[in-house]
Structure 1
């Protein structure tokens, strides 16, 4: 004789503090589990979906800056300009003159000069580190030729930064 497992079973359910027996079909339980699984998957994926949406929105809101400190034809920065105060060279697009004048132009020039000075500071620090490293090696190895070369090594960013500081202070 072949025994069959019943397709349903009794489930204990508590209602109002009392235990009741409920008859539930396997297919019904599977359907509930699948619905619960889909919801659980959706809840687990929600943070990733939120990150993707926020990232896409932020990319759409980011605009290209109106200038570049370097000539960059691929980005559209092809026209040379100089700031009125420090005479810093920068590049702009074709429509720059139409879009920026008066106070807006002064704000752009101020940003250009701040970026330029920040770059000079970073480059000056690197140049000093490189010079200090050469001096240290020359002393450590007793290499007088390397020491002379390190002493003569120029730091153009530091020199330009000093010139700008004189202009700003004076």
Structure 2
């Protein structure tokens, strides 16, 4: 619920100002909203004051009804007695249980409710379902905003093949290696990667800024998110977009010409490039298992492999040497990254004076380095 604290403070200030000005109905409304977002003692005291005011008003109305003046509040129902009742929750038990489950999960796969072998299609399907159920406009249970952000964060990591690979190997800490590589490749890309994650932008990407059956738009000011229906704004944007569109078909064709040329060049390149002979991973057409004779490296080939590479032939020996070189290079790169991660964690522990972090760095797994060492130990 920490993510709702800023919005809760704003609601409390509005409720306090309404109470001071005598608008007790508005004060109760925003005080209840602040309590749902982030309960505080100040807000609880304010609710008690509002309840006392309504109770006193109800007593005064009752006394007036016993005298010469009629109790006009009964003409439309006793507003004092109605407002003094606690506001009923606007969320269901099912929504509350879902929010609690998401906020208690630490594993990204558990958050989305998918297995570690989930495909891209399954990830997108799971995200769509969870995002619609947890969006603050649909789910007002306490902690729904934090759960909504967690779902978006989990999908953004698992939908990125590089981030997902690092997460599967080392967990959340493995994602730091992805950020370090992006920092070396491009400063702008590094800034974007380290910017605060925006779950609403991800939601807009899937649903166009609105629910499939509504016109709900999501926009952001600073670090605060706002939700609302803004049909006029959408129409203005569409009008401005149409105003800047090319007025002639010739202009549109000229803009599409570079993309068309790029598409044709890419298509011709794919036609000229043949599939690789082998793969270090099982999958697709590469289902036939083989092993090199020197380092006993496992690799996979197509079913027609034996037609082109005979046993004991020179091309087969050359291919196995290429497989071993490729595998060793891959292990070296991964080993280097493991050592960098281990050293970075150790330095962080020294910098902050954390013995736990230093111990964690000492126990940091270097599987690729160990495999590389074993590989050379069993070499002939």
TM-score, normalising length from structure 1?
0.64
Q: Which has the higher helix share?
A: 2
Determine if the alignment matches structure 1 residue 59 to structure 2 residue 260: no
Aligned-residue RMSD, C-alpha: 2.9
Question: SS at 1:91's partner residue?
Answer: strand
Kindly state the Cα deviation for residue 162 of structure 1 after the two structures are TM-superposed.
Answer: 2.5
CA distance in 2, matches of 1:48, 1:130: 40
Out of 103, 117, 120, which is 2:328 matched to?
Answer: 117
Runs (4+) of structure 1 exceeding 4 A deviation are: 45-53
CA distance in 1, matches of 2:353, 2:336: 25
Out of 305, 309, 331, which is 1:100 matched to?
Answer: 309
Gaps of 5+ in 2: 1-255
Residues 141 and 91 of structure 1: is their aligned pair in 2 closer, same or farther, counting only changes over 3 Å? same
CA distance in 1, matches of 2:286, 2:260: 36
Residues 148 and 51 of structure 1: is their aligned pair in 2 closer, same or farther, counting only changes over 3 Å? closer
Determine if the alignment matches structure 1 residue 90 to structure 2 residue 279: no
Aligned positions of 1:1-170 closer than 5 A: 51-72=262-283, 75-101=284-310, 102-166=313-377
Q: Which moved more, 1:111-120 or 1:96-105?
A: 96-105
Kindly state the Cα deviation for residue 47 of structure 1 after the two structures are TM-superposed.
Answer: 7.6
Q: Larger Cα Rg: Structure 1 or Structure 2?
A: 1
Kindly state the Cα deviation for residue 142 of structure 1 after the two structures are TM-superposed.
Answer: 1.0
CA distance in 2, matches of 1:93, 1:152: 40
Question: SS at 1:153's partner residue?
Answer: coil
Deviation per CA, 1:14-72: give whole Å up to 9, x if none. Answer: xxxxxxxxxxxxxxxxxxxxxxxxxxxxxxx9987765544332211111111111111
Kindly state the Cα deviation for residue 143 of structure 1 after the two structures are TM-superposed.
Answer: 1.0
Question: SS at 2:289's partner residue?
Answer: strand
Gaps of 5+ in 1: 1-44
CA distance in 1, matches of 2:358, 2:265: 54
